[in-house]
Amino acid sequence: MLNKTSNWPLLGASAWIALQSGTALAHDPIFGIGPHVLFKNGTEIAVGMAQNKAGNDKESKLKLNLAYGITGDWAAGINVPYAYKKNGSNTSNGFADMQAFTKYRFWREDSLGLQESAAVLLAINGQNADENATPRLGNGATDAIVGLTYGYESIKWYRWASARYVLPGKNDAGFQLGNKWLVDVVGGWRPKTPEYTKPDTVWLLELNGEFINKAELNGSSRANSGGSEWFVSPGIFWTTRNFAIKSGIQIPIASDLNGIQKKSDYRFKTTFEWHL
């Protein structure tokens, strides 16, 4: 009979096989991005809720996310958000800008109980939001997003790093939001060796940074726009078979905004995922 110490390699191998053969491994950060893609012909249906608050301004969104695994390394999908926005005494609600996205995992290396991978992301934000709403639910332009992400996923520990560049378009009035860099460093810890038939929990801690250029109107920069913010973001990722819940909150720790702007108070996100 094997002793407790000699059982660990077998436990690790069996846990990794269970993760690889199921969808419990579908772990990505909550606020950043990770290299995870769907299996070939796989489908992901996700419903998410998010809320941002800065001073007396608040925005809440309900999002429907649909993704499809074109190959084992390439996925694509759409994100359809419905927003409620409050700016001072003004409120508006309706569909916000829809997003189409694709992710390609160009590198993957597996070893016993460990997977490392990297992927690139491309997303396009449309301009389907009601442009007459006050406050506006979109910026009235088409935006492009490109990203690069790396992930380290073991039975016990997770690590991710990512960078995204957002290039906003110019709307019909000549207004253009500032270009934006988003950077994320994330760590994850699984307190218990996973079993495929039982629920699995991973605790996450993210460091998220935003660096935004000033917005422009007809070529002239706007003084009260742009700057940088940093957030520390604790969260949890809970899975059981092909169903997952992930939730977290962004807590601002540093802010350097230009001119007169309201600093972020918090940002919250919860997502329910179902893989088919």
Identify residue 215 by its one-letter amino acid code. Answer: A
Domains of the chain, each with CATH number or no CATH: 4-275 (2.40.160.40)
For the residues 35-61, what does the mean pLDDT come to?
A: 96
Mean pLDDT, the chain, whole residue set = 90
pLDDT tens, position by position, 91-123: 999 999 999 999 999 999 999 989 999 999 999
Question: How buried is residue 97: exposed, middle or buried, by Cβ count under 10 Å (0-12/13-18/19+)?
Answer: buried
Q: Is the pLDDT of residue 17 over 70?
A: no
Q: Is the pLDDT of residue 87 over 60?
A: yes
Rounded to a whole number of angstroms, the CA Rg of the chain reads: 20
Residues 197/177, Cβ–Cβ less than 8 Å: no
Q: Please, which residues have CB within 8 angstroms of residue 127's CB and are 6 or more apart in sequence?
A: 97, 138, 139, 140, 141, 142, 169, 171
Distance CA(68)–CA(66), nearest Å, equals: 7
Confidence of residue 11 (pLDDT cuts 50, 70, 90): very low
Q: Is the pLDDT of residue 21 over 60?
A: no
For the residues 44-52, what does the mean pLDDT come to?
A: 97
pLDDT tens, position by position, 149-181: 999 999 999 999 999 999 999 998 899 999 999
Q: Is the pLDDT of residue 76 over 80?
A: yes
Largest CA distance in the chain: 77
Residue 26: the pLDDT is 53
Residue 27: the pLDDT is 82
In the chain, the N- to C-terminal Cα span, in Å, equals: 39
Nearest-CA neighbor of 46 among 83, 82, 84, 79? 79
Distance CA(185)–CA(181), nearest Å, equals: 14
Nearest-CA neighbor of 85 among 138, 40, 46, 15? 138
Q: Are strands 220-221 and 57-69 parallel, antiparallel or unpaired?
A: unpaired
